[in-house]
Amino acid sequence: MNIDELQSIPINDAVSNELINTALDLTVDYSEIAFDSLLSDDLIREIPIVKSIVALGRFGISIKQLHFTKKVLCFLKEFHSRSSTNNIVKFKNKLNTDQKFKDKVTERIILIIDRLRTEQRAILLTKLLMGYIHEEYNWETFCYFSECLDSMQLIDIAVLDNLLTKESVEIENIAVSTFDKYMLLASIERLKSYGFVGVKDLSFIGSKGEFNKVAYISSLGKIIYNTIKV
């Protein structure tokens, strides 16, 4: 297949086709595949979505495109590794029959995956999409969560996990001991800006006052944590 033939398969269609009926080998850990193997491995090179991404490069594929390919493969593997439900069947049927819906979903997925820095975040994006498919929140909330995803750090998930079972806790007592204490403060501020965590601004004296403030998880924080931890 030459470049012109590859380009006849639009990237939106390639993504939706893979969501509906994947050509991926779900036993492969795509996050562990080296960039070079994406082009040299005959089986991977023949996956339709890989062909479509490579075709976008026309005369050469960049490291960014290779990384994008890995993220897409990780996203799709996570999607198809989950048990099929009535909601997932309805979602696939709508992708197959509603052009406007297909474009909305695939364009959002492509744009977000392109921005995500790691394959792990692409897997978390799948989980966020599953939350939407299972009607845990609406499309606008999915879009908001997906926008937050790339700037979230591992410590943020640990903080949400620690706060989930507590009504509130002083910041210095949040159990994320593997992280620097100032990273903890940064995490609280980041999560607060997303609306996932609230902080009670109690009066304090001295340089450690920031750590004596009381933090708590919001209802929105509970929703995103319970979605991405699965």
pLDDT the model gives residue 58: 56
Asked if 28 and 131 sit in the same domain, the reply is: yes
Summarised one tens digit per residue, pLDDT across range 57-88 is: 655 578 888 899 999 999 999 999 988 899 99
- Per the CB < 8 A criterion, the answer to whether 1 and 55 are in contact is no
List Cα–Cα distances, 206 to 119, 203, 210, in angstroms.
Answer: 42, 10, 9
Confidence check: pLDDT of 3 > 90: no
Q: Identify the domain containing residue 20 by its residue range.
A: 11-151
pLDDT at 57: 65
Read off the pLDDT of residues 7-66 as tens digits, 9 standing for 90 and up.
447 888 999 999 999 889 899 999 999 988 887 888 888 888 888 887 776 555 788 888
Task: From residue 117, give the alpha-carbon distance in Å to each of 68, 113, 151, 159, 173.
Answer: 9, 8, 9, 21, 30
> Nearest Cα to 228, choosing from 167, 156, 173, 179?
156
Task: Identify the pLDDT of residue 215.
Answer: 94
Q: Is 47 left (phi over 0), alpha (psi -120 to 50) or beta?
A: beta
Residues 160 and 84 in one domain: no
CB contact at 8 A, 198 and 177? no
Report the number of distinct structural domains present in the chain.
2
DSSP 174: S
3-state DSSP assignment of residue 60: coil
Predicted confidence band at 208 (pLDDT cuts at 50, 70, 90)?
low
Would the pLDDT of 5 be above 60?
A: no
82, 44: one domain: yes
Entry pTM: 0.86
92 and 165 in a single domain? The answer is no
Q: Are residues 123 and 109 in the same domain?
A: yes
Query: CA angle, 211 as apex, 210 and 215 as ends, to 5°?
Result: 95
As a whole-number percent, the residues of the chain with pLDDT over 70 amount to: 90
